[in-house]
Structure 1
Amino acid sequence: MSSHQHVRPWRMIERRKSRKIRVGSVEVGGDAPITVQSMTNTLTSDAQATLRQIAALEEAGADIVRVSCPDVESTQALRTIVDNTAIPIVADIHFHYKRAIEAAKAGAACLRINPGNIGSADRVREVVQAAKDYGCSMRIGVNAGSLEKELLERYGEPCPEAMVESALFHANILRDHDFHEFKISVKASDVFLTVAAYQALADAIDCPLHIGVTEAGPLRTGTIKSAIGLGNLLWAGIGDTIRVSLAADPVEEIKVGFDILKSLGLRHRGVNIIACPSCARQGFNVIDTVAKLEERLAHISTPMSLSIIGCVVNGPGEALFTDVGFTGGGAGAGMVYMAGKPDHKLANADMIEHIVELVERKAEELKAQQDALMPVAAAE
């Protein structure tokens, strides 16, 4: 237990106990960090375009990337893709079980199958054998929009019970074949259905859970739906890897995923900017400044905090808890805070460049401290 959790019990999140699996070089479940993933939207058959997008996702912080494999051309390109990136690649399979077998042979780290449309139990068994033969993990991906016909007839509509029944039925097939390297998702575009299905599944099985609100929508509304659904689950300790499904650039999915985890103190990456909404008291244009700083500091991956507050009402107090802070004042200048303490005055006209320089320098300092501690942590 970390010290801040001990001192502030209201911030404690006790993660659901799950067994750990591997997706290539990345651990999922157990005590492994909650991973963030996205999916490419290029034609997988265009290996170079797909690799460019994978590189952008990796730079944004993605731990795992999924690619769709709808045809033979895609699984043929998969070998080139896998050979030219270090990030684990999940092959997304629908309808054609042979694509899963081809993807396993091509080096996919994980096979995602949707039980509702992969076909018979025999076909699922063949996919399991391929996963065993080529060292893949698997994800059972249940979606409210593609449940098995028999379940829909019995339950009348997609519901948590139907989704969990589908997931457990296919998990049992994997376990009957002595295959345990799998995770499960039970996604819906409806937030209530998604959360209820995951809550029930979390109690029913100990495998890692891949969580997400599927087809959440455009960037703004999709982010809100995902934050509500995933936030509820993560706060309850449910979820080992997350995907935010947005009708937007996949890089935005990674950013939103990390922001959700950061807001709950579950994962930290990059600069966490604390900023006021601004009002008539502001000593500088807060909104414009924060937008520019967010863009200029996007390259920093070291976890750290920056407060940008328009006036002295909350500025000094927020700065107490941030690595770097700036509080607006009068006469076109404000105060810079370092590690919570007033450090020097700064003219508004110079603030962007100066704050970027301060944050970059602080990030290097924090990274050096972290790197110095790593051998000690390894020895323990």
Structure 2
Amino acid sequence: MNREHTRVIRIGDRVIGGGNPVLIQSMCNTKTQDIEATVAQIKALTIAGCDIIRVAVPDMEAAKALKEIKKQITIPLVADIHFDYRLAIASIEAGADKIRINPGNIGSEDRVRAVVEKAKEYNIPIRVGVNSGSLEKNLIETYGGVTAQGIVDSALDKVRMIEELGYDNLVISIKSSNVMMCIKAHELISEQTDYPLHVGITESGTLVSGTIKSSVGLGVILYEGIGDTIRVSLTGDPLEEIKAARLILKSLGLRRGGVEVVSCPTCGRTRIDLISLANQVEEMVSKFDHLDVKVAVMGCVVNGPGEAREADIGIAGGIGEGLLIKKGEVIRKVPEDQLLMALQEELMNM
């Protein structure tokens, strides 16, 4: 089902599905019981552009902490539950805006029913999450291993279980660390359901490898019109997940706002420390989130103006000095050590 035609689901004060903007999620790596640390991380992630935040709820202390955390944050809070249905119930009562469960590891139908009834009482959505690593043995045997179809069958079985209990306020998440399997699974499930999909490549890896795998997988899935909310799962600072997710959405035209930095690769013509300059520019422009502009950072004055033509503004390095460029036109020369400041001033004027 194309994201334009998925159901609209409300999560706190945000909505997903039905053609609404694709929202960015992340998950805290703090101990949820440490309210101060968790709130601090959520606030930092919010500033960075996180739309929905998930926290682990491994015990009752963590579930009870949600009530205080909710008071201090401004984005929807999702409780991540495994195994113990009582933690799901306590999290809902503490104010979680959504819960993430795998009905397969919650236990008996009575326990699943208790969770569903509580979600129904509070009218909060349930995210039905299935990972390739937790696929049931019978499906592995049926398909001769872990497959995209097996993941889809597992998820839809669990959705039907909850539907039969009289609830359909649902979001589906099917994840795999295998990029191509993940893409295929999303293609298959999008043809069989109109529930909104939370998309991600699970256990994708460290900052570099994880960003690449997530960009490839999410890029294909989102380009095909599938996916209503995303997470870039990285082994690292959750803030990096937000940066990557925003850039993926912006690169696909699914999100506007914020400064996009383009820079040329270094070559023998480069006469400045381009790598350092590009990194400094990327750091500097993060404070101009309200602008929707493209900034070019070029390493030489030979091709700089031409290559920066499609950017709103750019700089190109020379020997001891550089050029400030707007829409491919040189507007002035600037000493090399003043290039960054000159660019910042231009952005402030914009």
Q: TM-score, normalised by structure 1?
A: 0.87
Please report how far the alpha carbon of residue 15 of structure 1 lies from its aligned counterpart in structure 2 after TM superposition.
Answer: 4.7
1:127 corresponds to: 115
* Matches of 2:64 and 2:3, distance apart in 1: 39
**Aligned partner of 1:197 among 179, 185, 188:** 185
1:103 corresponds to: 91
Query: Is 1:280 equivalent to 2:280 in the alignment?
Result: no
* Matches of 1:268 and 1:234, distance apart in 2: 15
Matches within 5 A, 1:138-153: 138-153=126-141
Give the 3-state SS of the residue equivalent to 1:204 in structure 2: coil
Q: Percent identity?
A: 45
1:158 corresponds to: 146
1:307 corresponds to: 296
- Residues 261-314 of structure 1: CA distance to partner in whole angstroms, max 9, x if unpaired? 111111134211010011121232211101111122222212321001112444
Please report how far the alpha carbon of residue 116 of structure 1 lies from its aligned counterpart in structure 2 after TM superposition.
Answer: 3.1
Query: Is 1:213 equivalent to 2:201 in the alignment?
Result: yes
2:10 corresponds to: 22
2:311 corresponds to: 322
1:67 corresponds to: 55
* Matches of 2:119 and 2:286, distance apart in 1: 37
1:78 corresponds to: 66
Answer whether contact 1:336 1:345 (CA < 8 A) is retained.
yes
Answer whether contact 2:129 2:173 (CA < 8 A) is retained.
yes
Amino acid at match of 1:321: E
Give the 3-state SS of the residue equivalent to 2:191 in structure 1: helix
* Matches of 1:82 and 1:358, distance apart in 2: 40
* Matches of 1:169 and 1:16, distance apart in 2: 24
The count of aligned residue pairs is 348
Query: Is 1:294 equivalent to 2:285 in the alignment?
Result: no
Answer whether contact 1:283 1:334 (CA < 8 A) is retained.
no
**Aligned partner of 2:173 among 172, 185, 188:** 185
Give the 3-state SS of the residue equivalent to 2:161 in structure 1: helix
**Aligned partner of 2:220 among 204, 229, 232:** 232
Please report how far the alpha carbon of residue 196 of structure 1 lies from its aligned counterpart in structure 2 after TM superposition.
Answer: 1.1
Answer whether contact 2:301 2:322 (CA < 8 A) is retained.
no
Give the 3-state SS of the residue equivalent to 1:207 in structure 2: coil
**Aligned partner of 2:45 among 57, 60, 69:** 57
Answer whether contact 1:114 1:143 (CA < 8 A) is retained.
no
Matches within 5 A, 1:11-50: 15=3, 17-50=5-38
* Matches of 2:23 and 2:249, distance apart in 1: 10
What stretches of structure 1 of length at least 5 have no aligned partner? 1-13, 363-380
Amino acid at match of 1:40: C
Answer whether contact 1:319 1:340 (CA < 8 A) is retained.
yes
Answer whether contact 1:78 1:108 (CA < 8 A) is retained.
yes
- Give the stretch that moved more between structures: 162-171 or 201-210: 162-171
Please report how far the alpha carbon of residue 123 of structure 1 lies from its aligned counterpart in structure 2 after TM superposition.
Answer: 2.0
Structure 1's consecutive aligned runs of 4 or more residues displaced over 4 angstroms after TM superposition are none
Answer whether contact 2:3 2:17 (CA < 8 A) is retained.
no
Answer whether contact 2:42 2:53 (CA < 8 A) is retained.
yes
Query: Is 1:172 equivalent to 2:174 in the alignment?
Result: no
Please report how far the alpha carbon of residue 230 of structure 1 lies from its aligned counterpart in structure 2 after TM superposition.
Answer: 0.7
2:244 corresponds to: 256
* Matches of 2:12 and 2:349, distance apart in 1: 34
Answer whether contact 2:223 2:252 (CA < 8 A) is retained.
yes
* Matches of 1:266 and 1:134, distance apart in 2: 32
Please report how far the alpha carbon of residue 172 of structure 1 lies from its aligned counterpart in structure 2 after TM superposition.
Answer: 1.6
Structure 2 CA distance for partners of 1:319 and 1:115, relative to 1, 3 Å: same
1:337 corresponds to: 325
Please report how far the alpha carbon of residue 63 of structure 1 lies from its aligned counterpart in structure 2 after TM superposition.
Answer: 0.3
Query: Is 1:92 equivalent to 2:80 in the alignment?
Result: yes
Please report how far the alpha carbon of residue 89 of structure 1 lies from its aligned counterpart in structure 2 after TM superposition.
Answer: 0.4
Answer whether contact 1:114 1:141 (CA < 8 A) is retained.
yes
**Aligned partner of 2:125 among 133, 137, 141:** 137
Please report how far the alpha carbon of residue 71 of structure 1 lies from its aligned counterpart in structure 2 after TM superposition.
Answer: 0.4
Root-mean-square deviation (Å): 1.6
Amino acid at match of 1:350: Q
1:112 corresponds to: 100
